[in-house]
Structure 1
């Protein structure tokens, strides 16, 4: 949801393969006029914060820069492949989950270029509800988790404590952490971000104990009081060997990337995406409308754009 050698959340493999097959080479990088008129393909990973980025960018591109936008759901690794091949133009939220692809396409092949910070810092961790911390104050230290495992047992976890996860296609370090920290827990996947949120909300309403893989920014954090469990401190390189990881997750400034040809020849559309930069609160505002209020992404984007003209006007290319 996970720099994120850290949290690398994404779409299921089958969806990814179908999405890539469905993209034609002519479906992207068509912007070739100085005004930005043309078509731009934005990759969107499978969480609502990223959907909010794409929806707002799409609305402004289509309504202010006369640029048609196509969105396609792709996980981090496959999104880099699509950008490099010209089948997509932009990644607006990368958590650092595909470092080998960055090295391959950005550093070596130079078919993809960096497009700057999104403006949002991401962080993954393990979280428990505040009402549980009030009852057991030391539960926020990972060293004490084993003595509380019985609180978290479920039918799916057996005699171990359950660590609730999201989509099985999200890349996390949690199985390695459980093994290397000698924790008597089992990762149990809800299936998607939406299913994970449903489970968390049900548990929270019933004041049931739960511990979950979770992240910031996340719109639901404004509604529920969740407390992060202190894992061993993250230090640069502590996650280099994925099998030996025994540290928590980094705080990661989320990055944007563009197809190199599009970045050079994409006119105002490319410049706009380079300029696109907002805060976690702004992203959460749109995400909450989509996931919390059940608005369509297009309607949520339209509402936010109409109410925040002073913010996005600064993203438009200067004439």
Structure 2
């Protein structure tokens, strides 16, 4: 899920770009707080072993933060606060020192130029180790029965089978929240497809709908993304869109190409990066695979484990992976 931007593309995570007045929820500590008016009590605290991590709403980002927080607390002796912040406001909060680190960013060139290159208030923290990708997907059982559906040029052939009560007589392309920023309406229009973009309402609602379609063995076409644990439960096959070329999505209304593949990045507040001691060094070293992230994400989303318990289980099973991060 990516934010729309112009210029060189490094990726676009599709989440709501909330305004500066949006209230941000503190997930640990003393409860809800408006982070646009006050800092977390632990962010950039002078001389204290405290760290504040920004966490996005999707489960992969929650998995990153859960494991990082657990290791910071149990191996390095830090107090950790986590704050739920959407992507563009997170850059503002990071620049101002209201959070110390973002562990999964899908690419925001405008913010990188402003805060990393010009103001130098944010410092790159290195690759997360995971590559993100958005695309259109059909269930693998449908792709195996109709192999040509995996080419966008053949989608109209199956529009009748993909029609729903909400798609106004056309085939349905299911998206997540109506507040997400996607290319899908432009893609449908510019590729001349007989489809209607229908929003499920949220990521959770989209997952529920996908699983219901799969349970009934019905065909569906959905906007989805990797990495995501749901692929482990509902195998899906990507539909080939016109090949992505650098800059092909620079003009939002004219997009007619696939989404890019994006190496996900970490970012640190510059003051924290320079004076954050072992915590800053640890976060720079934090680097894991899609499979490792999905292992934690599955425990959170599928097994409904609390974040700390999921992190504890993963840490206990994977000492050779994380031990170099804390040295």
Q: TM-score range by the shorter chain?
A: over 0.9
In the TM superposition, 1:249-264 aligns within 5 A as: 249-264=259-274
In structure 1, C-alpha distance between the alignment counterparts of 2:192 and 2:303, rounded to whole Å: 41
Map of 1:57 onto structure 2: 68
CA distance 1:32–1:42, change in 2 (3 Å): same
- TM normalised by structure 2 equals 0.90
8 Å CA contact 1:9, 1:46 repeated in 2: no
In the TM superposition, 1:293-312 aligns within 5 A as: 293-312=303-322
Greater helix fraction, Structure 1 or Structure 2: 1
8 Å CA contact 1:31, 1:265 repeated in 2: no
8 Å CA contact 1:89, 1:262 repeated in 2: yes
Across the aligned residues of Structure 1 and Structure 2, the Cα RMSD in angstroms comes to 2.0
In the TM superposition, 1:267-306 aligns within 5 A as: 267-306=277-316
- Give deviations 1:60-100, integer Å, cap 9, x for gaps: 0111111111111111111101101111111100011x321
Deviation at 1:179, TM superposition (A): 1.4
Name which structure has the greater RCO, CA cutoff 8 Å, separation 6+: 1
Deviation at 1:154, TM superposition (A): 1.3
Structure 2 segments unaligned to the other structure (5+ residues)? 3-7, 26-32
Map of 1:70 onto structure 2: 81
- TM normalised by structure 1 equals 0.93
Deviation at 1:4, TM superposition (A): 6.6
CA distance 1:237–1:11, change in 2 (3 Å): closer
In the TM superposition, 1:100-119 aligns within 5 A as: 100-119=110-129
In structure 1, C-alpha distance between the alignment counterparts of 2:317 and 2:158, rounded to whole Å: 47
SS of residue matched to 2:153: helix
* 1:47 pairs with 2:52: no
SS of residue matched to 2:253: coil
In structure 1, C-alpha distance between the alignment counterparts of 2:88 and 2:298, rounded to whole Å: 27
- Give deviations 1:105-151, integer Å, cap 9, x for gaps: 11111110100000001111000011212222211110111221111
SS of residue matched to 1:253: strand
- Give deviations 1:32-58, integer Å, cap 9, x for gaps: 55xxx5221111111000000000000
